[in-house]
Structure 1
Amino acid sequence: MTRLKFAGTFGTMLFCSVAALPLHAQSAPATAAPSEATEDDGSDVIIVTANRREENLQEVAGVVQALDADQLRQDGIVELRQLQAAVPGLSIANQEGNVEIFIRGVGSSNNTELGDPGAAPHLNGTYIPRPRGLGLMFYDLERVEVNKGPQGTLYGRNALAGTLNIITAKPRLGELSGYAQAEIANRSSYGAEGAINIPVGDTLAVRAAGYYVDRDYGFRNVSTGEQASQLKPAGLEENYAGRLSMLWEPDDRLSVSVVGDYGKETGTGYPGANIFGAVTATGLRPDKLNLKDVVYRGMQGDMENELWGIQGKLSYDFGTFTGELTGSYRSVDFYQANASSEGIDYPGRDLNNFQYDNFSNNFWQTRSQSQVYEARLSANEDQRFRWNLGGFYFKEDQAVGYMAVADRGYCCYSGTEFTMPDVNGESFAFFGDGTYDITDRLRVFGGLRYTEEKKSRYGIGGNWALTLGGEDFACCFATRLGTEGFRPNLLDRPNFNVSAIDTLQGRAQFLIEGIRSPGLRDTLIQQIGAIADGTNPNGTCIDRPDIDNGFVDCPAGFGGGFSFVELTIPDQQIGQAKFDFVDWRAGLEFDIGPDSMLYAKVSTGHKSGGFNDSFNGSTIPEAFSPEKLVVYEIGSRNSFDAFGRRAIFNLTGFYYDYSDQVFQDLTCINLDETQAPPVCNGYSLVNRNIGASRIYGAEAELRLKLPAHYALDLNAAYLDTKVTEGVVADARAQDFDAGGQSPLVKLVGNRLPLASKMNLSARLSQWIDIGSGRFDWQALLNYRSSFFLSQFNEDDIVFLDGTRQSALDAGFPDRQNGFVTLNLGAGYTIGNFRLEAWASNFLNEEISQKALVGSSLNIRFLNDARTYGLRARVNF
């Protein structure tokens, strides 16, 4: 279907849908807040800030879904990832602490220092560059807004897919009020939340809020080893947070607000589980396996994330226009030692004859301090031409560390470290946007934004390797690293300059400096410590049963050391990149009637470019360029009278042109040109702008207030995605006998990951007066059709030798079957007291929300298991 044909067909559908609506539609006052709406006449109005000003949702030319705090709580949405049950087209996953947001199949999984999110998270309209810990802000809310489609003009940085805006409850002048609530849930979970609003005179108010939760996501440790069986599974959380807000309005022109918050996450972390072994051993698809039955071993998972920030906003009404200054500072300090595992359990697996004494693991560290400033002038709403002019500045100082340790290898120890103590990002932008009333019914709007960004990073990246010779120069002795008590230095290393290290002693010193606390049974320091301190250039040979490979013995005649020693340390990583781009939007709105609007628009968005890891002698490009999205959209927003109450019906169609798309590709990092033809001796994943896609679809929304106090909300989305350009190396078929080379595979025709063709959210609710109180209940049902978890779309694998194997047989099924989730809620309110019961994922669907696919890897990151509980709340 061509773009023009699609637009024309859908435009006809829109016109017919609007023409069929009753002409006696009623509109609610645009200034009403949700809490001010009456319940019987259905005149509740949803206020959003999609266009950087408060306005009735029905007056926005675009698709925005907003859920207020009461609705979220009644829906059983108690944490950020559960939003996707109520918002079609939204996918949220947590990969090892990284919150990844996709909207309509567009987003980014690259949330390290190498890249940025593709859907921009915001707190009170202020951009958040690192969404680790975003869920800690999910309390004492006013509402959450999901703005679908690129928002490059008004929201700017990395709003390629759209925005997710968490809006916290604001202080209220002249009002002493608040609430306190406590809850208990299954799997021994419990929590509490509360807030108090204090007036200080007539012009100043302060609001304090707090939150605590102890939660279990439902993973199970099925290990049978004496120590391993005592390990706590992944997904245990103990989190707390607090927020203090201040609002000062000395007159009707000046408004000053300040919000400060602090939060801390602790627990066993968010790693996934590798299902590769279970699939290859049984031939079963993931939906036939218990993905939460994990075989843990080695180290206890541990996660700690400390966040704090402050936001300020000054607004002054000059009469015909308003000036606004905003500023934000945010700090993230994240550390995680993965809950290490040997994949999941499966039928026929013998867990009693298993090597649980294996401490191979992954460690992550992120520190980020970011500043965001914006100055904006905007015309007031009573003018024919309503405009915004502004400037934006962003700066981030970031430091990141990653280390993978490989324990119990029988030869040639090799681990990996990528640690960057100095990563800087800076961005500034200027923008203008406006809406002009041509007539009382016809409006045009447009905007332009120029952005310039620069990034730099410095650090180390590559392998730790120890090749230690035995008797008669036999290869090689094993090394243990990561056993009980081990912790890497990562960002606290004393030295990151490896460019001048060219001696064996220097390399040994550098490796030892990477260890903060050696493990109880580690051997690395014992083996190379004598090299580092200069007492024996051959090190110290240790022949211990747990590192004895059965055919290498300590040699004689080397002073108690090894017959040969080769040590490999990471390479220097230095990168700089600079980008500039222009985003724009243009469109028109036409009021068919007092409560029906047609609109058409074109808008663009960009996601910032980023870095690739570099290796000595490699030709890997230092950076990749920004991705670009152009979206054509037409839609209709309608209010009408049904059953004597106000109802809503909205319909939207869209077409995406997605270019300069980044795919990860295996690329040679060690080319030996001394051979003819040249031979590659190593490959690494590299980000490249080698893709393009097209997306089209439609969304519909229907909100009805029915007799007997029933209400029905329906949101449906249809999405068709297709890769139109892209050839990459198939990482599933990586051949290490060929230096790590992989066959090339065409992605053209494949669907984008995480993009379901059909997504439906339906909410049915009712309230009934019983005695002196009110009982209410609701059911939120979400249907999502199947989607793929990687760009390979479960295609057959064609290996380098030409043999073919199905993705299932090779261990790489990546299709998530369609599913239905159901959230239930019921409550009774009497006076200021409310008692609620709720259930999330009541049908206990086990859903893969993300996958990492590579050689012998099919790691799944899952949703929360069925959760239910009771909550008591008192308002005052």
Structure 2
Amino acid sequence: MAPQSDADSAQGNNGVQDIVVTAQRIGESLQKVPIAVTALTADAISDRGITGSSALEAVVPNLSMSRIGGVNQPFLRGVGSDGAGGFDEKSVATYVDGFYIAAPSSTQLSFNNIQRLEVLKGPQGTLFGRNATGGVIQVVTKDPTQDPHAEFDVGYGNYSTVDANAYVTGGIAQGLAADLAVQYHNQDDGFGTNLITGRDVNKDRTISLRSKWVYTGDTTKITLFGSYDKGRSCGFCLQFQPGSAFVTGAGPLGRYDVRMTKEPYFRTKNIFAGLRIEQELGFATFVSSTLYGDNDLEYYSDIATQSPPYVSVLGVVTHEKAKEYAQEFQLLGESGPLKWQVGTYLFRYDYNIFQPFDGAAFSPVPGPFITQSDGRKDSVSVYGQGTYALTDELKFTAGIRYTYDKVETDNSKIDFQNTGIVNFADRKITSKKPTWRLALDYQVTPEILTYVSYNRGIKTGGLSVNDFTSSGYAPEQLDAYEVGLKANLFDRAVRFNAAGFYYDYKNLQVSIASSSAAIILNAATARVYGLDVDLEVRPVKNFSVSVGLGLLDSKYKKFVGAPSVALDGTPSVVDVSGNRSINAPKISGSVTATYEIPTSVGDFKVSGTVTHKGKAFPTPDNLNPYPEYTLVNALIGWTSSDGNLGVELWGRNLTDRTYYAIRVPIAGFGQTQVASPPRTYGVRLKAKF
């Protein structure tokens, strides 16, 4: 039974590519897995102009990816979490090489050593565990090879953007290979201007180092990896929307302009180290996976008066530090018609946030104050899943996980102009919940699979840091029913995968922003239903078309006490029962066409992607929607006949469409927004040795 690290992919004879995925923690063909999965190879990622995890929504049906302050907020089939704090875990879990990444600021991923991306839809808590209620985004990187190999590329784009990547791999000793991946990005000119200081905003710089060492013996495989990421971006470059009372009398703003008395920034530093040991025991494979993560984050945000004289009304520097530890033990085996796996998972997350506020906006508190919060999460779970072949064509899968979670916070607020500590709160909350999976799949023909499944997903309850009043929020629960079809047709010239689903959602967790904190509370109930379609057509060897379509209807069945913020910043409490849930467009889709032209002087490639996203809402009150939009990306490339040299011309958002990364209401101030990138383009030179 191949463990998850052994998966790869193979090319059919002029047909669609057969991708091996690890959706069930073992290597299996995408077309044999009874789960809705969108899988992308490294070539597909490049052809579609995907530069990081935040761009995945352009090509994955029913995936929405808002972003605030350098933190991704993924929503799959309308299920997600809009909290941006370092103590707020997501409902869509992020995994890198089988390791869960908890800190939100660490899930903004960009790789140059990628093997494939997998997006698993629907609750995946039985095997993946913690907070995979909406699904899983899984990044799988290349394993190093014994044969020496090197890849380099350098590029330049508008806004004075420089990108450089290097990947080197080779053998160190018999059975031992290593690699090193280096990635550098610097956008020196901003998309907009801070109209108070005159300086550029909306620019970024990142550097990443990753290395993997793999020892392969007769019955043992040991993988050691480490990564270092450091970045700086604009972060919370929030722009007040026209019509907000807070900007009355102010002049117009450009799409990316802001008015802040100081320059906003968002700095991150993430370090991860992991060790995986895979040992064949004869009757089963034993796998031990150990992870350590260290996350350091600092950002500054400011709300200033929008007309002269410019004064900072609310300024805050936030320092966040987090450490995560995880240990998993697995046994994977096969006994006749039964494939099985059992395991246990231990997780700890330590978190600290320190925020000095300018308190002028917080009447009756008249002066500066500081909030200080510490948090800790501990989780222990045990799980098992088995797939039994009832016949050669019919298989039944059953799995269960039982999880114990404990969350603790220690919050304090210090007012330096009054009496010292003005508020103090120590709190603890625990939960014990099972999750499960039941599935039946039938192999109609060797090329057609049908399946039905029922999954229970749980996202742990918890506490909001910097919240001094609430008693915490309960676990959210999702019951998911799905029916699917996976088919290779016409001698594998066509791959057609589709899944219909219905979700019953209870205790939905919703993040509500105020001027001093983002508080998570429970909505009552919601229901979701929809359809996913992935279609790939390769009528001839050198031409392919990929289509993704998502249809979604997601509404709150009952949500009576929902906070709402008007355009002028006036807060209220409203009944949003029957409203559409957040970040759930009714339609999303993409079409990618790629044409390869072999010639005597090398191979040429032309690829274009058109993406459409329907109207969606950032808040439960359904005010201030995200407008629908359509984007166009394109790539033209040449590769030498030996495959060692290449050049690419690329463009993204070629029609310069205005669309938004985030829209955030702030009680007492009004509606704010951050626009997504404008038209960008550039050239990239590539070399292999």
TM-score by length of 2: 0.92
CA contact (8 A) 1:232 1:268 kept: no
**Cα distance, 1:771–1:391 mapped onto 2, change above 3 Å:** same
* Cα separation, 1, equivalents of 2:422 and 2:257: 32
In structure 1, what is the equivalent of residue 591 of structure 2? 762
**Cα distance, 1:860–1:665 mapped onto 2, change above 3 Å:** closer
Match of 2:493 among 636, 646, 654: 646
Secondary structure class of the residue paired with 1:132? helix
- Greater C-alpha Rg: 1
Aligned length: 680
Task: Give 1:111 shift.
Answer: 4.0
**Cα distance, 1:685–1:245 mapped onto 2, change above 3 Å:** closer
* Cα separation, 2, equivalents of 1:342 and 1:133: 33
* Residue 346 of structure 2 corresponds to residue 393 of structure 1: yes
**Cα distance, 1:685–1:248 mapped onto 2, change above 3 Å:** closer
In structure 2, what is the equivalent of residue 548 of structure 1? none
Secondary structure class of the residue paired with 1:299? coil
In structure 1, what is the equivalent of residue 331 of structure 2? 377
* Cα separation, 1, equivalents of 2:156 and 2:459: 41
Task: Give 1:337 shift.
Answer: 1.3
**Cα distance, 1:360–1:625 mapped onto 2, change above 3 Å:** closer
Task: Give 1:32 shift.
Answer: 8.9
* Cα separation, 2, equivalents of 1:410 and 1:572: 19
* Cα separation, 2, equivalents of 1:217 and 1:663: 36
* Cα separation, 2, equivalents of 1:763 and 1:615: 46
Residue type of the partner of 1:651? A
Please list, as runs of the form range in 1=range in 2, the aligned pairs for 1:527-606 lying within 5 A after superposition: 566-567=418-419, 569-606=421-458
Please list, as runs of the form range in 1=range in 2, the aligned pairs for 1:112-131 lying within 5 A after superposition: 112=85, 115-131=88-104
Residue type of the partner of 2:679? R
CA contact (8 A) 1:114 1:610 kept: no
* Residue 23 of structure 2 corresponds to residue 50 of structure 1: yes
* Residue 671 of structure 2 corresponds to residue 861 of structure 1: no
In structure 2, what is the equivalent of residue 519 of structure 1? none
Structure 2, gaps ≥5 residues long: 1-5
Q: CA RMSD in A?
A: 2.9
CA contact (8 A) 1:218 1:864 kept: no
Please list, as runs of the form range in 1=range in 2, the aligned pairs for 1:413-428 lying within 5 A after superposition: 413-415=366-368, 417-420=370-373, 422-428=374-380
Residue type of the partner of 2:479? V
**Cα distance, 1:415–1:161 mapped onto 2, change above 3 Å:** farther
Q: Deviations over 1:75-134 (max 9, x none)?
A: 211132111111121122222233211111111122425532111111111111112043
CA contact (8 A) 1:323 1:376 kept: yes
Match of 2:656 among 830, 840, 844: 844
* Cα separation, 2, equivalents of 1:410 and 1:693: 36
Match of 1:450 among 396, 402, 406: 402
Residue type of the partner of 1:448? I
Task: Give 1:403 shift.
Answer: 3.6
More strand by share: 2
**Cα distance, 1:83–1:318 mapped onto 2, change above 3 Å:** same
Secondary structure class of the residue paired with 1:296? coil
In structure 2, what is the equivalent of residue 626 of structure 1? 475
CA contact (8 A) 2:322 2:349 kept: yes
* Cα separation, 2, equivalents of 1:339 and 1:835: 42
In structure 1, what is the equivalent of residue 62 of structure 2? 89
Secondary structure class of the residue paired with 1:815? coil
In structure 1, what is the equivalent of residue 688 of structure 2? 875
* Cα separation, 1, equivalents of 2:466 and 2:155: 50
**Cα distance, 1:342–1:259 mapped onto 2, change above 3 Å:** farther
**Cα distance, 1:855–1:317 mapped onto 2, change above 3 Å:** same
Please list, as runs of the form range in 1=range in 2, the aligned pairs for 1:178-577 lying within 5 A after superposition: 178-215=150-187, 219-221=191-193, 223=195, 225=196, 228-229=197-198, 231-233=199-201, 235-251=202-218, 253-275=219-241, 277=243, 292-338=255-301, 354-358=308-312, 360-380=314-334, 383-406=336-359, 413-415=366-368, 417-420=370-373, 422-461=374-413, 464=415, 511=416, 566-567=418-419, 569-577=421-429
Structure 1, gaps ≥5 residues long: 1-30, 284-288, 344-352, 465-510, 512-527, 529-565, 668-681, 795-813
Secondary structure class of the residue paired with 1:160? coil
Q: Deviations over 1:853-876 (max 9, x none)?
A: 233321213322221111111112
In structure 1, what is the equivalent of residue 639 of structure 2? 829
In structure 1, what is the equivalent of residue 507 of structure 2? 660
**Cα distance, 1:237–1:612 mapped onto 2, change above 3 Å:** closer
In structure 2, what is the equivalent of residue 705 of structure 1? 538
Residue type of the partner of 1:175? D
Secondary structure class of the residue paired with 2:43? helix
Task: Give 1:850 shift.
Answer: 2.4
Residue type of the partner of 1:269? G
Task: Give 1:572 shift.
Answer: 0.9
* Cα separation, 1, equivalents of 2:471 and 2:172: 55
Residue type of the partner of 1:76? G
**Cα distance, 1:362–1:274 mapped onto 2, change above 3 Å:** farther
Please list, as runs of the form range in 1=range in 2, the aligned pairs for 1:101-180 lying within 5 A after superposition: 101-112=74-85, 115-172=88-145, 174-180=146-152
Larger mean CA deviation between 658-667 and 716-725 belongs to 658-667
Q: Deviations over 1:698-744 (max 9, x none)?
A: 111211102372211111110001100111254325999xxx9x554
* Cα separation, 2, equivalents of 1:46 and 1:851: 37
Secondary structure class of the residue paired with 2:104? coil
Q: Deviations over 1:804-832 (max 9, x none)?
A: xxxxxxxxxx1122111111111100021
In structure 2, what is the equivalent of residue 555 of structure 1? none
Residue type of the partner of 2:437? R
**Cα distance, 1:32–1:111 mapped onto 2, change above 3 Å:** closer
Match of 1:820 among 599, 622, 630: 630
**Cα distance, 1:759–1:461 mapped onto 2, change above 3 Å:** same
**Cα distance, 1:47–1:216 mapped onto 2, change above 3 Å:** farther
**Cα distance, 1:258–1:438 mapped onto 2, change above 3 Å:** same
Task: Give 1:612 shift.
Answer: 4.3
TM-score by length of 1: 0.73
* Cα separation, 2, equivalents of 1:114 and 1:308: 18
Q: Deviations over 1:209-262 (max 9, x none)?
A: 111100268531162x5xx12x331x32111111111000122x2100000111
CA contact (8 A) 1:96 1:270 kept: yes
Match of 1:37 among 3, 6, 11: 11
**Cα distance, 1:336–1:377 mapped onto 2, change above 3 Å:** same
Task: Give 1:136 shift.
Answer: 5.0
CA contact (8 A) 2:562 2:621 kept: no
CA contact (8 A) 2:96 2:138 kept: yes
